[in-house]
């Protein structure tokens, strides 16, 4: 979409796309929940990534609702073949139909539907819905983030309480100046939910250990940012979306002061 249409893009995001996204993600979450803890066909893609008929059904629903309503937008989903036509689009839906499929198939509740609308390389709308926990995170760029329609805010301060941090243990242990045993927050199978826990202050910080994809991150990224948190590469560089390469390196999300402290630590002591 042309730059001259920027005002109309903003109006559409606020007046149409936000309502569309909320309704669609709620419907998709309902479908996923209806198939949860049932006998499902499942298989493995790539080396070890599980996928099930529920992932495909939810993806099909999201694609039908969102792409029909916004035919000029691009599409990038974990469960769709990548169409590089998205690279020429200013507005692109980035979708993970079920983030945390392994836990979903295991009967655990830490899974979600995660969808963002990205304008060029930055998310402007985001929804992360964990229906088994009745948690619906939502954000519009510049308007704050909510959990079940109540405003949320990342935890303040810069202290490091490892019991309120989640992510790969060897990575987080590098923040421990005493080199002793670190007890982290229990594992959260969905990366999007792990990051959203920072947005509403349940976690002080969350890490992604590398090789996460746009669809794992884009919605949670905006939700964290709009909750007055920060999410970035470990170097502090911003995360850019809808590029040809959709994989990312090590990332961190935290409240702004704690994020700055963690990034400063890893700049002084970079990973090998």
| pTM of model > 0.75 | yes
- Quote the number of domains for the chain: 2
Q: What is the arithmetic mean of pLDDT over 248-258?
A: 97
CATH code for the domain of 39 = 3.30.540.10
Residue 9's pLDDT band (boundaries 50, 70, 90)? low
Looking at 96, 124, 151, the residue that finishes a domain is 151
CATH code for the domain of 228 = 3.40.190.80
44 pLDDT exceeds 60?
yes
pLDDT digits 0-9 by tens, 74-100: 999 999 999 899 999 999 999 999 999
Quick one: 70 and 167 in the same domain?
no
138 pLDDT exceeds 60?
yes
Quick one: pLDDT at residue 80? 96
pLDDT digits 0-9 by tens, 195-226: 999 999 999 999 998 889 999 999 999 999 99
Which structural domain range is residue 224 located in? 162-268
Quick one: 41 and 122 in the same domain?
yes
Average pLDDT score, the chain = 93
Hey, CA dihedral for 83, 87, 88, 94, is it positive or negative? positive
How many angstroms from the chain centroid is the CA of residue 60? Answer: 19
Residue 8's pLDDT band (boundaries 50, 70, 90)? very low
Looking at 106, 123, 151, the residue that finishes a domain is 151
Looking at 151, 186, 209, the residue that finishes a domain is 151
> Where does residue 257 rank: exposed (0-12), middle (13-18), buried (19+ CB within 10 A)?
middle
Place of tokens 């920072």: 198
6 pLDDT exceeds 50?
no
Q: How far apart are CA 191 and CA 205, in angstroms?
A: 12
């Amino acid at each position: 979409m042309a730059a001259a249409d920027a005002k109309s893009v903003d109006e559409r995001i606020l007046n149409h796309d936000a309502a569309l996204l909320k309704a669609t993600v709620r419907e998709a979450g309902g479908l996923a929940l209806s198939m949860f803890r049932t006998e499902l066909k499942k298989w493995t893609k790539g080396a070890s990534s599980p996928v099930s008929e529920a992932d495909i059904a939810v993806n099909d629903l999201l694609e039908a609702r969102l792409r029909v309503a916004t035919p000029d937008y691009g599409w990038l989903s974990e469960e769709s073949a990548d169409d590089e036509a998205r690279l020429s689009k200013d507005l692109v839906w980035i979708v993970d139909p079920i983030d945390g499929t392994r836990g979903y198939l295991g009967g655990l509740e830490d899974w979600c539907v995660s969808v963002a609308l990205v304008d060029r390389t930055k998310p402007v709308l985001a929804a992360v819905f964990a229906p088994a926990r009745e948690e619906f995170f939502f954000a519009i760029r510049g308007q704050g983030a909510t959990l079940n329609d109540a405003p949320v805010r990342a935890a303040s301060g810069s202290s490091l309480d490892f019991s309120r941090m989640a992510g790969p243990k060897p990575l987080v242990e590098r923040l421990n100046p005493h080199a002793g045993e670190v007890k982290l927050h229990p594992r959260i199978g969905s990366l999007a939910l792990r990051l959203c826990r920072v947005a509403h202050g349940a976690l002080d910080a969350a890490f992604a250990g590398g090789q996460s994809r746009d669809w794992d991150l884009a919605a949670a990224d905006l939700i964290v940012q709009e909750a007055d948190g920060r999410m970035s590469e470990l170097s502090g560089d911003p995360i850019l979306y809808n590029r040809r390469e959709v994989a990312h390196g090590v990332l961190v999300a935290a409240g702004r002061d704690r994020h700055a402290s963690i990034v400063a630590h890893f700049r002084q002591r970079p990973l090998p």
